[in-house]
Amino acid sequence: MGLELGLSLGAATTKKGGEYDFIIIGGGPAGLTAGIYAVRKNLKTLVIEKSEFGGTVNLTFEIENYPGFRRISGAELAKKFHKHAADLGVEFSSDEVKEISKDGNWFVVKTWEGEYRAKAILLATGSRHRELGVPGEKEFTGRGVSYCAVCDAPFFKEKTVAIVGGGNTAVKDALYMAEICSKVYLIHRRDQFRADELDISELKKKQNVEFVLNSVVSEIRGDTKVNSVVVKNKETNEEREIQIDGIFIDIGEIPNNELAKMLGVELDARGFIKVNDNMETSVQGVYAAGDITGKLTQIVVAAAQGAIAAVAAYEYIRKPYWVKN
Amino acid sequence: MIEIDPQTKQFVENSFKNLNNPVKMIFFKGQNCQYCDAIKEILTTVQGLAPEGKILYEEHSFEDENDLAKQLNVDKAPATVLKAGEKKVYFYGVMSGYEFGSLIEDIVDLSTDEVKLEDETIKFLEKIKDDVRMQVFVTPTCPYCPRAVRMAHKFAMINPKIRADMVEAIEFQELSNQYMVSGVPKTVLTVNGEDVDSLVGAAPEPYFLDFLKKNIKV
């Protein structure tokens, strides 16, 4: 059990409004890195986060592909990002943006606690988990159906679980659950994975992991809680009912694009924000970075996009000599 | 062993600068209690970070001082009651990991007597006459859970008819089984002694308000 303290650090910081050069909405790796770059350019910068600073990084058990850290927990890396930004003078508010609009050259950001004005905005609002949309899923959410392995793993110690998905999250979750569960089924609709090959080969070594490939979940069954999952093989059309105690759904994300829509920012067909190489959106002064851009959902990518966005916002706000009009 | 790093320490000290009314942390130890030493360490550490006299710490035995426990509506251990005047919130089990933030924020709210909720929510909460209990089941590694805990605790700060508990699900396994908790946060709502409904997830305030409105007549 995690006996460390202060994982939700910064949560009690809530501001009441004010004027800023740069307001970043979303405190994940993209937002926090943008904050670091922006304050080093001397922009008065605020990061607004409605949940946990670090964003979905907090949901990762172990990260092994962020340079400089051979192996680090998501919670720990999130905390380091936040500390780095805080030490450099980034301001934070734990609050939720309810409304965003443009007023001349300014952006007006309304939250639960106050009203802010900013010269430029970064939308780093990330994404949320996608649902399977099969019978039983909604009914048994919290009763065996889970979207958060770090939250709910302890309930399935020495039990049998299924994990659905073929990306990094699914494979990482399967690796973790294989350590504590008696049996883990990994259900994936293809016979190949998008996850890192190193993790897949590690998973293949586990005696208690069974791969259920080319298969889709057609139903989750149970009484008071989940008892089984019905999967259908896409090639043979054969259905199979697997007895399980829990099922973790890791099938990707949908964009948190509500604020982008309020600003009239152009989205792609999947609802992610369209950006150019400078992380500029279709609305001048509005930038986007991280998972909301629909690119590779990796911490290092989000951080890099945050850096690019912050520098572009600086050039837009301050018009330094090297920027041609 | 509890670790508090310099950044967390500084953050807590800053949060405690504006403390006003004294807040009591009343800790009830249990028998064969795996995390009681950890809880004690967390609470005394937090007390040490507050200005003198703003946070008071008391330690009791749940078994030996059952009358006091009853008086404070404590029905199991380990339990921590945060109390300022008549306002009380409860933590059953350890408030480590992400829940440490809930503890700090609760202390600040209780001491400053400021609860940030929408007017509509406050109006509804003030009208409640039934005995309401909200038990929020959590795990310390759940980043969403403090939002549900804090929502329930804030509700309790508005109206003493509402009792709000954080329950660390793994320490209270029987209770978790009874309420079929296998996903957190899960908020179990009890009205006049009857379990009426539950809510899974860290819902935003309007959603929590609807959840109460649906189940409580005012």
Q: Residue ranges of the domains in chain B?
A: 6-112, 119-215
User: Which residues are within 8 A (CB) of B92 and not within 5 positions of it... i.e. 6 or more apart?
Assistant: B76, B78, B79, B80, B165, B166, B167, B168, B171, B172
Which residue of chain A comes nearest to B179, CA vs CA? A143
Band (pLDDT 50/70/90 cuts) for residue A7 is low
Residues of B in contact with A151 (CB under 8 A): 139, 141-145, 183-184
Per-residue pLDDT for A5 more than 80? no
B26: left (phi over 0), alpha (psi -120 to 50) or beta: beta
The predicted structure's pLDDT at residue A120 = 98
User: Which residues are within 8 A (CB) of B19 and not within 5 positions of it... i.e. 6 or more apart?
Assistant: B50, B51, B54, B55, B107, B108, B111, B112
Higher pLDDT, B201 or A204: A204
DSSP states of B201-217 = S---HHHHHHHHHHH--
φ, ψ dihedrals at A4, nearest 5°: -70, 155
A111-138 pLDDT, tens digit each: 988 999 999 999 999 999 999 999 999 9
B149-161 pLDDT, tens digit each: 999 999 999 999 9
Residues of B in contact with A153 (CB under 8 A): 141
The predicted structure's pLDDT at residue B6 = 82
Which residue of chain A comes nearest to B147, CA vs CA? A51
Mean residue pLDDT of chain B comes to 94
Active site residue A250: no
A4 touches B: beta carbon within 8 Å: yes
Would you call A6 and B5 a contact, using CB atoms and an 8 Å cutoff?
Answer: yes
The predicted structure's pLDDT at residue B206 = 86
Band (pLDDT 50/70/90 cuts) for residue A10 is low
A148 touches B: beta carbon within 8 Å: yes
> What torsion, rounded to 10 degrees, do the Cα atoms B36, B42, B43, B49 define?
160
Strands A106-111 and A115-123: antiparallel
The predicted structure's pLDDT at residue B10 = 84
Higher pLDDT, A218 or B6: A218
The predicted structure's pLDDT at residue A21 = 98
The predicted structure's pLDDT at residue A13 = 72
Would you call B202 and A86 a contact, using CB atoms and an 8 Å cutoff?
Answer: no
User: What is the average per-residue pLDDT within A286-304?
Assistant: 96
A223 touches B: beta carbon within 8 Å: no
Per-residue pLDDT for B2 more than 80? no
Mean residue pLDDT of chain A comes to 94
CA atoms within 13 A on the CB side of A235: 7
Which residue of chain A comes nearest to B104, CA vs CA? A12
The predicted structure's pLDDT at residue A325 = 61
Per-residue pLDDT for A294 more than 80? yes
Q: Are A271 and A255 in contact (CB under 8 A)?
A: yes
Task: Specify the residue for token string 């003078």.
Answer: A89
Of A12, A58, A155, the CB nearest to B182: A155
Q: Which of A21, A87, A103, A151 is catalytic?
A: A151
Band (pLDDT 50/70/90 cuts) for residue B1 is low
The predicted structure's pLDDT at residue A15 = 84
Residues of B in contact with A79 (CB under 8 A): 7
The predicted structure's pLDDT at residue B204 = 82
Would you call B146 and A246 a contact, using CB atoms and an 8 Å cutoff?
Answer: no
Alpha helix positions (H), A161-248: 168-180, 197-204
Band (pLDDT 50/70/90 cuts) for residue B14 is confident
A240-265 pLDDT, tens digit each: 999 999 999 999 999 999 999 999 99
User: Which residues are within 8 A (CB) of A203 and not within 5 positions of it... i.e. 6 or more apart?
Assistant: A171, A174, A175, A178, A186, A209
A227 touches B: beta carbon within 8 Å: no
Look up residue B56 and give its two tokens. Answer: 């008071």
Would you call A7 and B116 a contact, using CB atoms and an 8 Å cutoff?
Answer: no
Per-residue pLDDT for A32 more than 60? yes
Architecture of domain B6-112: 3-Layer(aba) Sandwich (3.40)
Degrees to nearest 5, angle at CA B75 with B74 and B78: 75
Active site residue A199: no
A140-192 pLDDT, tens digit each: 999 999 999 999 999 999 999 999 999 999 999 999 999 999 999 999 999 99
CATH superfamily entry for domain B119-215 = Glutaredoxin (3.40.30.10)
A199-208: long-range contacts, CB 8 A cutoff, minimum separation 24: A199/A168, A199/A171, A199/A172, A199/A175, A200/A171, A202/A175, A203/A171, A203/A174, A203/A175, A203/A178, A206/A175, A206/A178, A208/A178, A208/A181, A208/A182, A208/A183, A208/A184
Residues of B in contact with A15 (CB under 8 A): none
Of B42, B100, B200, the CB nearest to A7: B100
A323 touches B: beta carbon within 8 Å: no
Active site residue A151: yes
How many A-B residue pairs are in contact by the CB < 8 A criterion? 143
Would you call A143 and B183 a contact, using CB atoms and an 8 Å cutoff?
Answer: yes
Positive or negative torsion for Cα A296, A298, A301, A307: positive
- Select from B141, B181, B189 the residue whose CB has the most chain A CBs within 10 Å, as the one to mutate to test that interface: B141
> What torsion, rounded to 10 degrees, do the Cα atoms A56, A60, A64, A70 define?
100
The predicted structure's pLDDT at residue A51 = 85
Q: Are B102 and B130 in contact (CB under 8 A)?
A: no
ipTM of the complex: 0.87
Of A8, A96, A225, the CB nearest to B146: A8
Would you call A143 and B108 a contact, using CB atoms and an 8 Å cutoff?
Answer: no
Residues of A in contact with B209 (CB under 8 A): none
- Select from B35, B98, B211 the residue whose CB has the most chain A CBs within 10 Å, as the one to mutate to test that interface: B98
User: What is the average per-residue pLDDT within A36-48?
Assistant: 98
Of A52, A150, A246, the CB nearest to B182: A246
Residue B4 CA to residue A148 CA, distance in Å, equals 26
Would you call B143 and A143 a contact, using CB atoms and an 8 Å cutoff?
Answer: no
Q: Are A25 and A116 in contact (CB under 8 A)?
A: no
Query: Domains in chain A, please, with CATH?
Result: 17-128+253-318 (3.50.50.60), 131-249 (3.50.50.60)
Would you call A142 and B186 a contact, using CB atoms and an 8 Å cutoff?
Answer: yes
Residues of B in contact with A9 (CB under 8 A): 7-8, 11, 101
Burial state string for B157-186 with b = 16 or more CB within 10 A and e = fewer than 16 = bbbebbbbbbbbbbbbeebbeebebbbbbb
